[in-house]
Amino acid sequence: MSQPIRVLLAKVGLDGHDRGVRVVARTLRDAGMDVIYSGLHRTPEEVVSAAIQEDVDILGVSLLSGVQLTVFPKIFKLLAEKGVSDMIIVAGGVMPDEDVVELKNMGVHEVMLQDTPPDAIVKTLTRLVTERGPR
Amino acid sequence: MSAYVPSTALIPRAEAGEIPSIARLISRAEAGLPEARPALAQIYKKAGRAHVIGITGVPGSGKSTLVAALAARLRALGGKVGIVAVDPSSPYSGGAILGDRIRMTELAQDPGIYIRSMATRGAMGGMARATLDAVDILDLGGFETVIIETVGVGQDEVEIAKASHTTVVVSAPGLGDEIQAIKAGMLEIADIHLVSKCDRSDANRTLMDLKQMLTLGAHSGPRPEWQVPVVGVCSFNGQGFEELVDAIQKHQHTLSTESGKKRRLSIASFRLQKTAENLLIERFTQASAALRPKLAERLSARDGDPYTLASELLAAALA
Ligand SMILES: Nc1nc2c(ncn2[C@@H]2O[C@H](COP(=O)(O)OP(=O)(O)OP(=O)(O)O)[C@@H](O)[C@H]2O)c(=O)[nH]1
Ligand SMILES: [Mg+2]
């Protein structure tokens, strides 16, 4: 598979820090991926429409503000409304263990907490795309 | 879309304006797989209505911010607007950070606007290999205007002028050199010259310099009968955009004249040449892969010279 993996990194919610996401963006770029960064304070609607327009393999949503349990259901609902079912959704940031479990039950493919080393992120994303197969 | 949908099956959906299908077709064009070629062929034949605006200028000159403001203006006039924004791939990793979209976030919720970020993946000239395929796909999807934002180009990377109906060259004040367009060899390719960031006090100087350069006549535009306007804009407060839209529309009208037909023909000629080059390189790269190491060894041992061995490689690969 010589096609670069396409990733949209999005920040949803009120928190105004994006140093972490920017580091991840560079890591993914250096691993040969095409990375689009959404900027801060995006709504689920904005994130989903950007992800669909960009036809990304992976939508990565980072949040620090504890809104994950409302954000992800919205994202899945919006994607379903557009008939998009093959996008890989991952979450990043800081959250309690029980939320991680709940997100996975919801259909989030992987949750990578803030201390995940960069090459582990690369490996996980690459694996998820390989598992999905061609699209 | 969970099972693999063949590219040709996506065409009717894209033609109906369905964004996921349009987006997927663009991905297939980018991947460059043979599976997508018959679909792209059909799409090209159906397309041809969109007005294609190329926006170029040195890095940081304000292209993306301007494209967003321009797209919003054009939307207010009615038609759908598609945007293809190209950024460079890293020559080391092949990956890219596609940063244009972040300047266009206020357009995100308008269903009549489609923004696609694209990496060059080694292509020279300011566009990606699939940029013009993406334009056709958007054209098919009913986007009346398609704006291409090129990579912030340097010298000689001016292919956009050969591919777009209207080429806008952006110069910003305060980037050191007074008129970057000259330095980058972009003075001659503009149908419209734009000075961005006109809220800055040094913008007037850039405007004056540019106008003077153009009236000196040493650098006329691509066509003698079109007077290349110089427009100053500020993308933050909207200043100058009425004039810009007016200039674009006037230029669009000239495309239906006799010399406009010539322009269309030369766009087709460029497309043909470029596509042939890409096919040739693709074929050659594949066919020469096996033989190359052996010839490289000979070259390294000076058992043969570059021209002779390269000719041998070419002959063997393209036989
Ligand atoms: N003062 C002022 N700044 C502007 C204006 N338009 C853009 N800028 C700023 O110029 C910088 C570059 O803007 P971009 O729109 O990203 O420029 P670009 O040409 O697309 O950049 P690349 O895609 O990286 O080549 C940003 O900091 C913008 O905020 C304007 O009208 N006035
Ligand atoms: Mg830009």
B27 with B63, same domain: the answer is: no
Which DSSP category does B32 fall into? T
The model carries a pTM of 0.94
What local confidence, expressed as pLDDT, does residue B158 receive? Answer: 79
B67 with B168, same domain: the answer is: yes
With respect to residue A135, please indicate whether it lies within any of the assigned structural domains: no
Give B-chain residues touching A32 at CB under 8 angstroms: 93-95
Q: Are B63 and B51 in contact (CB under 8 A)?
A: no
> Given pLDDT bands bounded at 50, 70 and 90, which one contains residue B156?
low
Q: Does any CB of chain B come closer than 8 Å to the CB of residue A33? A: yes
> Given pLDDT bands bounded at 50, 70 and 90, which one contains residue B318?
confident
- Boundary residue ending a domain (B231, B255, B279): B255
B234 with B92, same domain: the answer is: yes
Task: Report residues near ion ligand 2: CB below 5 Å.
Answer: B 63-64, 100
Q: Tell me which residue has tokens 């407060």.
A: B237
* pLDDT tens, residue by residue, B31-40: 998 999 999 9
With respect to residue A98, please indicate whether it lies within any of the assigned structural domains: yes
Give B-chain residues touching A134 at CB under 8 angstroms: 4
Total structural domains in chain A? 1
Q: Of A77-81, B127-131, B173-177, B241-245, which gets the smallest average pLDDT?
A: B173-177
What local confidence, expressed as pLDDT, does residue B276 receive? Answer: 94
Strand B80-87 relative to strand A6-11, pairing:
unpaired
Tell me which residue range forms the domain holding A73: 6-130
Total structural domains in chain B? 2
Q: pLDDT at residue A65 above 80?
A: no
Which DSSP category does B176 fall into? S
Compute the average pLDDT of residues B167-184: 73
Q: Are B63 and B152 in contact (CB under 8 A)?
A: yes
Tell me which residue range forms the domain holding B80: 48-255
Q: State which H helix or E strand residue B100 sits in.
A: none
B214 or B90: which leads in pLDDT: B90
Compute the average pLDDT of residues A69-85: 93
Separation between Cα atoms, residue B315 and residue B319, nearest integer Å? 6
B153 or B143: which leads in pLDDT: B143
B12 with B160, same domain: the answer is: no
What local confidence, expressed as pLDDT, does residue B122 receive? Answer: 84
What local confidence, expressed as pLDDT, does residue A6 receive? Answer: 98
Judge: B102–A38 Cβ closer than 8 Å, yes or no: yes
B131 with B60, same domain: the answer is: yes
> Given pLDDT bands bounded at 50, 70 and 90, which one contains residue A63?
confident
* pLDDT tens, residue by residue, B58-115: 889 999 999 999 999 999 999 999 999 999 999 999 999 999 999 998 888 899 999 9
Q: pLDDT at residue B123 above 90?
A: no
With respect to residue B318, please indicate whether it lies within any of the assigned structural domains: no
Looking at chain B, which residue has its C-alpha nearest residue A133? B4
Q: Are B134 and B84 in contact (CB under 8 A)?
A: yes
With respect to residue B74, please indicate whether it lies within any of the assigned structural domains: yes
Residue B297 burial by CB count (10 A; 0-12/13-18/19+): exposed, middle or buried? exposed
What local confidence, expressed as pLDDT, does residue A1 receive? Answer: 42
List all residues of chain B from 99 to 138 with a beta carbon under 8 Å from chain A: 99, 101-102, 105, 108-109, 114-117, 119, 121
**Average pLDDT in chain B:** 90
**What is the 3 state secondary structure string of chain A?**
CCCCCEEEEEEECCCCCCHHHHHHHHHHHHCCCEEEECCCCECHHHHHHHHHHHCCCEEEEEECCCCHHHHHHHHHHHHHHCCCCCCEEEEEECCCHHHHHHHHHHCCCEEEECCCCHHHHHHHHHHHHHHHCCC
Name the residue among B19, B95, B99 with its Cβ closest to that of A52.
B19
With respect to residue B261, please indicate whether it lies within any of the assigned structural domains: no
A20 or B238: which leads in pLDDT: B238
Separation between Cα atoms, residue A8 and residue A94, nearest integer Å? 19
Compute the average pLDDT of residues B113-136: 93
Provide the token pair at A84.
Answer: 């998009």
What local confidence, expressed as pLDDT, does residue A56 receive? Answer: 98
B163 with B30, same domain: the answer is: no
Name the residue among B89, B97, B108 with its Cβ closest to that of A50.
B108
Alpha-carbon distance B114 to nearest alpha carbon in chain A (angstroms): 7
Separation between Cα atoms, residue A128 and residue A112, nearest integer Å? 13
Looking at chain A, which residue has its C-alpha nearest residue B83? A53
Looking at chain B, which residue has its C-alpha nearest residue A8? B98
B53 with B42, same domain: the answer is: no
Q: What is the CA radius of gyration of chain B?
A: 21
Provide the token pair at B149.
Answer: 């934002």
Compute the average pLDDT of residues B189-197: 94
With respect to residue A18, please indicate whether it lies within any of the assigned structural domains: yes
With respect to residue B262, please indicate whether it lies within any of the assigned structural domains: no
Compute the average pLDDT of residues A39-46: 88
B241 with B129, same domain: the answer is: yes
With respect to residue A1, please indicate whether it lies within any of the assigned structural domains: no
With respect to residue A100, please indicate whether it lies within any of the assigned structural domains: yes
**Average pLDDT in chain A:** 91
Alpha-carbon distance B122 to nearest alpha carbon in chain A (angstroms): 12
Looking at chain B, which residue has its C-alpha nearest residue A36? B98
What local confidence, expressed as pLDDT, does residue B224 receive? Answer: 67
B7 with B108, same domain: the answer is: no
B25 with B69, same domain: the answer is: no
B29 with B169, same domain: the answer is: no
Alpha-carbon distance B44 to nearest alpha carbon in chain A (angstroms): 21
Q: What is the CATH number of the domain that holds A97?
A: 3.40.50.280
Q: Are B21 and B13 in contact (CB under 8 A)?
A: yes
> Given pLDDT bands bounded at 50, 70 and 90, which one contains residue B180?
low
Separation between Cα atoms, residue B181 and residue B185, nearest integer Å? 6
Q: Does any CB of chain A come closer than 8 Å to the CB of residue B80? A: no
* pLDDT tens, residue by residue, B218-239: 545 556 678 899 999 999 999 9
Strand B113-119 relative to strand B80-87, pairing:
parallel
Q: How many CB atoms lie within 10 A of CB A129?
A: 20
With respect to residue A114, please indicate whether it lies within any of the assigned structural domains: yes
Please choose from B56, B65, B148 the residue to mutate so as to test ligand 1's pocket, defined by most ligand atoms within 8 A of CB.
B65
Give A-chain residues touching B119 at CB under 8 angstroms: 4, 34
- Residues in the ligand 1 pocket, defined by CB under 6 Å: B 57, 59-65, 100, 103, 152, 196-197, 199-200, 234-236
Q: What is the CATH number of the domain that holds B86?
A: 3.40.50.300
Q: Quick check: helix, strand or coil at residue B260? A: helix
Q: Compute, in angstroms, the gap from residue B3 CA to the centroid of ligand 2.
A: 35
Which residues lie across from B87 on neighbouring strands? Answer: B119
Q: Quick check: helix, strand or coil at residue B21? A: helix
With respect to residue A34, please indicate whether it lies within any of the assigned structural domains: yes
- Boundary residue ending a domain (B255, B280, B312): B255
Of B196, B194, B120, the C-alpha closest to B157 is B120
Compute the average pLDDT of residues B41-70: 95
Q: What is the CA radius of gyration of chain A?
A: 14
Of B243, B223, B224, B225, the C-alpha closest to B233 is B243
B35 with B114, same domain: the answer is: no
Please tell me whether the interface predicted TM-score (ipTM) of this complex is above 0.90. yes
